[in-house]
Each structure stands twice: as C-alpha cells, then as structure tokens.
Amino acid sequence: MCLRTQPFEVIALIVGYLDLDDVRNLSICSHHFRYLAYDQAICKKVFQTGSISGLEADEAHRDRDYPRGFRRLIKRREAISSAFPFLTAVVAVADSSLYENGVLCHIRERQLCLLDVHRSADQEIVVDIRKLLDEAIPESEGSRKYSFQLLYQAGGIVSCLYTHARPHPAHWLVVFNPSEGQIITTRRLDSAEKIFARSNSNFVYYGVQSDIGDDGFRRWVLEGFDILQGRWFEDSLHLPDTVGSDIDSTICFEIIGNFFCVLTNETSFELDRIEYTSYYDFFRFPLDRPRRREIERPSKRNLFRRQHSEGAIDDRWTFMKIFCDELSGELKILESRKEWPGGGSTPTRTYYTKTLHMTERSEERRSLLDLEEEEEEEDQYAENERLAPFPGITVKSNQGCAPSRDPSEVHVGDDGATSVMFTLCKCFIRSYHPSSQTFMDLVDDPDPSNPNEQRIRIRAGSRLPWAQSGRDGSMLADNLEQQPMQTKTQEQLDNHYEQSGVISWPPEGRSRALDDLHNILNPPGYTGNVQGTWDTRSLIYTTGGQANGGVKALILVSFDPSIHLKGSRAFDHQTSATVWKGDLGKRLRDTQASLIPEKVVVEHRTSVSAGSGSRGRGCGAVEDGAHAWASDEPAQYLAIDMGLHFGKVARPT
C-alpha cells in the first residue's frame, strides 16, 4: 500500500496516532506530504491529540491558526537542539533586571521598565518608582535612600520588595498592575529573609524564612492574597518539615495551573546525615485554599531521586525546576546534577526528569497503611546500603526495590572527553529543554589568540531516538535486570538514543558579520560580571557593571521565530551584517546618558488596552487615565539599535 495515494481522510486518521515529531518528519520526507504542516485540520488534530500546551498552543487556539502554531513550535525546538537562535539583540542598559514569563523588567535611574519580549513589543511601560512608593506606602514619603528589589512578574502583576533604614529598618511587599495603574496591595513585613513571590492574575503568594525551629534552622512561612476578593488569607501556612533554602537549587516554589507547588531535593536539616536513598519532597495545594488539609502529595516511591552508591555530587552545579510538559501536559520535575558515576574520577553532568502522579487524597486523609508501606520500603533501602560493604553479610539487592528510571527521563551530558569543559565561574547559564532533549550553557570561551577578551558563546548537546536518527537500536541485554542501577540505565540509554556532539554558537572564524555579532554578545565597555536566566524560548543575560556607574547591558538570545524586534537587521555571513557606523560602545554610553532624567515628567498616552492581542503592545499598555506613576514609552532597544535576526540564514539540519 502506497501511503501517498491514500485519501485525505485516511491520512488524517493516521495522524491521530502520531506524535508531533512523527508528523513533522512525515511532512518533510516527501513533497507529497508537505501539506501536513499547512493544513488546518491536520495541525489542529496534532495539537488536540498530543495535549500540547505552551505559548504556541495558546495562540493557535486563540487565533484558530493551527498551521502557524505547529510550524512555530517545530522551528523553536529545532533551533534549540541545533543551538542556532533566530534573534540576538542588546535590549536595554540597566542597574538591575528580572526576566519572568516572557516580560523583561529592568530598573534604571529610579525608573522601572517592563518590556514584553514574547510579543515583540516596541513600547515598554515605564514606572516612576518614587511616585509609586509615595502613593503605595505613605511612610516612605521623603525617603531618598532605599532599596527597591524586583521579586516576580506574571499576568501583568509585579511584586517588589521596598526597604528603607530610616528612621527604623522596615520592609514592605508592594504588588501592583502597571498597565492599569493599580496598586493591588502592600504589606509591612516582619522579616524579609530569603523572600520570594509568585503570582498569576488572581492570586499573589510570598514566602519568607521567618520561623526558627528548636534546632536553630529557619523554616518557610507562606502568605497568600486573593486579588479578586481584595483580601489576605487569614492563616499563614507554616512549613516546618520543608527543607532547603536555595531557590532553584535545593527548593522550588511555582504556581502551575490552579495550584501552588513546592519541591525540594533535601529531606533533612542535618548536614552530616548520610541519606543512603534520597527522595524528593513535593506537595501542592489549591491557590484559593492554602490549608494543610488540602495538601496533595505523590507516593513516596514516585519521588525516588537517587541512591548514595551512584556516586558523589558537586552541589554547586545543581539546578532544579517544576514544569508542565508542553507536549503531554504532565507535571514534571527537572534536575541537573554533576556526578561522579560509580565513584569514578570523571564527573558527568546528567539531566533528570520525573513525571509526578498526584494522588486524589489530601495529606491528612492518606491511610496509615500507605505511610507504613513507604517507611518500610525506605528502611529496607537504608539497611541494605549500610550492610552491603561488610564482607560475609548477604543482603538483598536494592536494585529490586529501587524504581527503575525511564531512559527518556535521563539525559547524560558530556564529560569532557570530546570537548573542553568549563569551570563554574565561566558557565553563566545552565539549562535543559526536555521537549528538545537538549542541554544548553552560556559560557565565556575566549579565542586562543586573545585569552583575556570576553567571548560569550552558547554550548549545547542534544540526542535523538534511534528511530529518528535513522539507525536501529540493539536489543537490551538478557541480564540487564541483574546489573547495578547505573549500568542498567546507561545500557538502556545506549540502546534508545544517539547522542550528538557538543556544538557551539557563534561558529569559529572571522568576518565583518561575525565581528558585529561578537559586539552584540559582548558590548564594548560592558564586559565581565555576566549573569543570566532562561525560559523555554530565550536566554537573557547581563554583562558589565564594573564600569559605567555599575550599569549593565542586557542581551537577548531568542530561539522563537515569531520574536522580531523592530529595527533588527538581517545577518549576512558573506558581507557585513549591518550598516552600523562608529563606536558601538559609545552608542551604548550615549543611550545610557540619555536615560538620566533631569526631571521626571510622566505623560499619559491613549493606547490599546491589555489583552487586545495587538502586536507590539506587550504586557498590557498603560490604560488611558491611569495613575501618574505609569506611562508608555518607546522601547529602549529602539534607541540602542543593536540587533540581528537570522531568519534567512541557512540552518543546520
């Protein structure tokens, strides 16, 4: 039977059994199937069948343009796996910044600017911080020495921490909606120790380590605010048994859907205690009911992390996230660990994901039988591990008890055998993209001819299932079950996946175009002190601050083909990529000087209201009649005018 001669109805039925990658591969294997990536019904079926979520899916459902969403999603994933972005630009110069949920918030000269990167906004909301504080916190009026720290941004809601020292030290949480000119709530805090905030359009939560236990260790306390009801929840949620203090390293807090989620990879406050079998601790509760009896947890077996016998860990490299898988919609854990497998001498960075299966029962309703079974299982792990090293003692192998790892949830990175490894101080962003099966770092990789000059590069490695790579995997060994866990997992990985080599971008070589690209990634006069963050479609990092009054340049590297900043120029590898004239460093300094206001004058502009979906009006333009502390102004990157897009450049296959 020839597939290309089948009627459309049969092809549509077949597509219902294929995943996103299968449909993409089928659409490019022959010109007869090219229409699959452009057909409305086929692409809609792909989105609906695969439970695909994320920005592309949301916009496809909203605009009813499923082919565009399908192609955009495929292009983004391929750009990440090939480490070949669609856009890079210097988007701002600032004293401090925060990038959350596609919106870049940055502070410069007591002005807070918000730029919606995901919507390619050419206008940014500018907030006069002093005027905002005068209205939000009357006690702050007249204070000129204070700190204003960005905490979080989501759904147009910004959370910040205000602190002043005179006449007495005091902290306030300030939550506001800049597009509507609305101060949502303020609260004076007794403690700001390790403060964080999370929010969506309906709720705001913050947490601090304000409780101190009998052992001297600090404990987390959560407070919640209902935006629609305009009130704080009466009771605080105390977390006396939740261990971990380094956010995104040992503990994570996230709002996912209608739940507040907490994840930690530590289970004991005792630093010298050896955990022979390590577990995650995860729980969640509904945003509108922050009570202990509403807490839900997976089974303990579902939270298995690792065994002590798998090797030592360098905790400095660990990062951790909770996320909702964009292809399956499942709730998952992501953790990266640098380990010495089997006690060897060569460390390897490995990326682990784990699917969480939530129980329908709350913490208080879980049966004693379930808890006893989990405790007995953990005790068996520990007993076997403790006795195993002693000769003459026969113990049951833990291998039969330890949950096996799915090969799709373990990605072994490089160990330096095929490429240069970087020290932690030269590796500024460490990320992993499960949907693309790709790890990606932002590193300083100086040219050997000029080792003292900063050269920022992206370093990435991906993998493909044997079926996609065009080769057949061999069958698993018959005695695989009898091998140690680590050996067994590696055997499974070798039989399921083909690893790509580590690739770097920009490529090696010299040309006028590459020199222009180098000047964007390493702006003249703004080098050193690199810090950054990432999401599923972009990297944003700051560089500089050692000169220029502590001001840093903010650089965007985007893998989303739909993000296009106005004024960015097409990259041409054969000739000069730009028509830029003069010193680019001087241009940045001139832009920086122009941002220092002699007198802050805030004007109102009539603009499109939030949620209109108008391109170029990100994070909600300021509504007409808003308060005097918020306004719309042209995005700073328009004046800087240092951006390149790579849409027409031949991309790796």
pLDDT for 652 beyond 90 = no
**Please, which pLDDT band fits residue 345 given cuts at 50, 70 and 90?**
confident
Between 155 and 379, residue with greater pLDDT: 155
Assign 374 to helix, strand or coil. Answer: helix
Assign 646 to helix, strand or coil. Answer: coil
With CA atoms as reference, report the closest residue to 88 among 540, 618, 427, 542. 540
**What's the whole-number mean pLDDT along residues 105-119?**
94
Task: Please give the angle made by the CA atoms of 113, 116 and 122, to the nearest 5 degrees.
Answer: 80
Task: Note the pLDDT of residue 388.
Answer: 46
Say which range, 8-22, 413-427, 489-503, 534-548, has the weakest mean pLDDT.
489-503
The model carries a pTM of 0.86
Task: Please give the angle made by the CA atoms of 207, 210 and 216, to the nearest 5 degrees.
Answer: 130
Residue whose token pair is 């390493």? 522
Say which range, 260-274, 329-343, 619-633, has the weakest mean pLDDT.
619-633
Q: Where are the alpha helices (DSSP H) in 38-155?
A: 40-49, 55-63, 66-81, 129-136
Task: Note the pLDDT of residue 311.
Answer: 87
DSSP 342: G
Task: Note the pLDDT of residue 372.
Answer: 57
Residue type, 469: S
Q: How many helices (H) and strands (E) does the chain have?
A: 12, 36
- Per residue in 562-613, pLDDT (tens digit) is 999 999 999 986 655 454 545 666 666 666 666 655 433 333 332 222 333 3
* Residues 136-169: b if buried by 16+ CB within 10 A, e if exposed: bbeebeebeebebebbbbbbbbbbbbbebeeeee
Both tokens of 421, joined, read 């490894």
Q: Which strands, in side-by-side order, build the sheet including 251-256?
A: 251-256, 259-264, 281-286, 296-298, 358-362
Within 8 A by CB and 6+ apart from 538, the residues are: 99, 102, 117, 556, 557, 558, 559, 560, 563
What span, in angstroms and rounded, lies between the C-alpha atoms of 25 and 326? 19
Segment holding 515, helix H or strand E:
helix 512-521
DSSP 15: H
pLDDT for 543 beyond 90 = yes
Residue type, 220: W
Domains, in order of start, for the chain = 3-81 (1.20.1280), 118-417 (no CATH)
Task: Note the pLDDT of residue 584.
Answer: 62
Task: Note the pLDDT of residue 259.
Answer: 96
Mean pLDDT of the chain: 83
pLDDT for 279 beyond 50 = yes
What span, in angstroms and rounded, lies between the C-alpha atoms of 84 and 118? 18
DSSP 290: -
Both tokens of 258, joined, read 């209608």
Task: Please give the angle made by the CA atoms of 368, 235 and 233, to the nearest 5 degrees.
Answer: 120
